[in-house]
């Protein structure tokens, strides 16, 4: 069968691929410690799960309006006002099957063949592929560890062309954990507004902040910026609800309407039961979020110290999310148990096979000098994983 060109150019998500490989080895009875997953290892808080169960019991199991139930859209508007200082009307909100789907809808509504989308690297793996699937051209702009992995105004300016349609700003960032300050966002927004470039603000990790880092929502910078911004968020990461598949976009009315129309033909409404659970998440007690954050903070300390103690590994302390992006380039060209380490993919392979530890190669995020660790895994696994890595890496020659 001959597939469409669009499908031929797209690979499976490398994070999911590495995770699947680790799971396969686990099935064979090998004790794999996985640092690959991008989801909280906690259960969905009880009161949220109960809201889902109640929805089933009450027969809330039919089609809903395609862009989401009014109750959830209103809860999202309350949340955006309360936590982000943003004024949106429910008609500006589209609820989707996860934040990923919300981003996809936005690109469907915005991108014409050949339009360029600026993606600061390191980036979340799906941005480039989603842009390509929509006929756009990803323009990857590297950032530097010395700049905290943040895009600078000068490198932004240099990347803009007459074809630039949109940019991704992902703060806190996956995979680096970088969090942009208000001033840093303002400096970028000034340039973007001057060029009329649409900002896709992916804010799914907004609650996962450490050491007093503060979060600024891009659309909150002012009315001119808000008019060009589609705010993307969801309940997956904040409320340990990855499997429920609820994300959302808040956007200027015309764009929101187009996204809602696209969704109505592509998938119809997101899951009715999960929508009720999402209302409970946004409107209910926020204490479980704080508890999860405390635990992530503890793990982050341990991981940063442990990884920096590994031969050939260097990492900065991330301000947000639950990932560590470690520079492993010092190991390139050396050998481990007779096998040459040529880049992040070969190192990740070797660590999986020799140490039974799974990490994601940085090449997947647009920077081959790194590997990504997720600390959304238990402290016991972290301790064990660090010991194994230390033992195996001691044999690097």
Ligand X SMILES: Cc1ncc(COP(=O)(O)O)c(C=O)c1O
| Residue nearer to ligand X on the CB measure, 134 or 174 | 174
Give the nearest distance from C-beta 347 to ligand X in angstroms: 22
The binding track of 12-51 with respect to ligand X, each residue x by CB under 6 A or -, is --------------------------x-------------
Applying CB under 6 A, does 100 fall inside the site for ligand X?
A: yes
In the chain, beta strands by DSSP E: 33-34, 93-96, 116-121, 137-142, 164-170, 198-202, 229-234, 247-250, 323-327, 335-336, 339-340, 357-358, 360-361, 370-374
Among 104, 124, 210, 373, binds ligand X (CB under 6 A): 124
Applying CB under 6 A, does 247 fall inside the site for ligand X?
A: yes
Distance CA 108, CA 76 (A): 22
279-318 residues in contact with ligand X (CB under 6 A) are: none
| Residue nearer to ligand X on the CB measure, 234 or 362 | 234
Among 171, 236, 272, 377, binds ligand X (CB under 6 A): 236
Among 32, 99, 274, 292, binds ligand X (CB under 6 A): 99
- The structure tokens listed for 261 are 């129309």
Among candidates 12, 196, 203, which has minimal Cα distance to 115?
Answer: 196
216-235 residues in contact with ligand X (CB under 6 A) are: 234
CA distances from 167 to 23, 160, 182, 323, 375 (A): 35, 10, 17, 22, 28
Structural contact between residues 110 and 165, judged by C-beta atoms closer than 8 angstroms = yes
The binding track of 254-283 with respect to ligand X, each residue x by CB under 6 A or -, is ------------------------------
Among 202, 206, 327, 367, binds ligand X (CB under 6 A): 202
Structural contact between residues 134 and 108, judged by C-beta atoms closer than 8 angstroms = yes
Structural contact between residues 115 and 163, judged by C-beta atoms closer than 8 angstroms = yes
Applying CB under 6 A, does 128 fall inside the site for ligand X?
A: no
Distance CA 365, CA 361 (A): 8
Applying CB under 6 A, does 68 fall inside the site for ligand X?
A: no
Using Cβ positions, the residue closest to ligand X within the complex turns out to be 98
132-161 residues in contact with ligand X (CB under 6 A) are: none
Give the nearest distance from C-beta 360 to ligand X in angstroms: 11
Applying CB under 6 A, does 170 fall inside the site for ligand X?
A: yes
Give the nearest distance from C-beta 240 to ligand X in angstroms: 11
Any residues with CB less than 8 A from the CB of 118 and at least 6 apart, and which?
A: 139, 141, 156, 159, 160, 164, 166, 167, 168, 197
Structural contact between residues 219 and 79, judged by C-beta atoms closer than 8 angstroms = no
Distance CA 174, CA 306 (A): 20
Positions in the binding site for ligand X (CB under 6 A)? 38, 98-100, 124, 170, 174, 202, 204, 234, 236, 242, 247
């Amino acid at each position: 069968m001959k597939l469409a060109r669009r499908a031929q150019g797209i690979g499976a998500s490398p994070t999911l691929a590495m995770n699947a490989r680790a799971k396969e080895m686990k099935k064979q009875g090998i004790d794999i410690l996985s640092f690959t997953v991008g989801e909280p290892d906690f259960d969905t808080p009880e009161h949220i799960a109960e809201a889902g169960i109640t929805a089933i019991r009450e027969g809330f199991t039919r089609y809903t309006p395609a862009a989401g139930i009014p109750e959830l859209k209103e809860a999202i508007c309350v949340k955006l006002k309360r936590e982000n200082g943003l004024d949106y009307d429910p008609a500006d909100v589209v609820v989707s099957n996860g934040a990923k789907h919300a981003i996809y809808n936005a690109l469907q509504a915005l991108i014409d063949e050949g339009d360029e989308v600026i993606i600061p690297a390191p980036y979340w793996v799906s941005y480039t592929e989603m842009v390509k699937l929509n006929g756009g051209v990803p323009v990857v702009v590297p950032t530097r560890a010395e700049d905290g992995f943040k895009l600078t105004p000068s490198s932004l300016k240099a990347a803009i062309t007459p074809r630039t349609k949109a940019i991704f700003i992902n703060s806190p960032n996956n995979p680096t954990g970088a969090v942009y300050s208000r001033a840093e966002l303002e400096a970028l927004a000034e340039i973007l507004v001057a060029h009329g470039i649409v900002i896709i603000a992916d804010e799914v990790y907004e609650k996962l902040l450490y050491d007093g880092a503060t979060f600024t929502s891009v659309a909150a910078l002012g009315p001119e910026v808000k008019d060009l911004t589609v705010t993307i968020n969801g309940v997956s990461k904040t409320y340990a609800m990855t499997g429920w598949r609820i994300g959302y976009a808040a956007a200027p009315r015309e764009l929101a309407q187009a996204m809602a129309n696209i969704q109505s033909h592509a998938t119809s409404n997101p899951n009715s039961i999960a929508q009720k659970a999402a209302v409970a998440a946004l409107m209910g007690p926020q204490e479980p979020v704080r508890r999860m954050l405390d635990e992530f903070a503890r793990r982050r300390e341990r991981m940063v110290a442990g990884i920096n103690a590994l031969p050939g590994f260097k990492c900065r302390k991330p301000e947000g999310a639950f990932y560590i992006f470690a520079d492993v380039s010092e190991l390139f060209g050396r050998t481990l148990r007779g096998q040459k380490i040529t880049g992040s993919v070969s190192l990740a392979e070797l660590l999986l096979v020799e140490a039974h530890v799974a990490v994601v190669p940085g090449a997947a995020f647009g920077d081959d000098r790194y590997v990504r660790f997720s600390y959304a895994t238990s402290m016991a696994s972290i301790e064990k994983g660090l010991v194994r890595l230390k033992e195996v890496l001691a044999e690097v020659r």
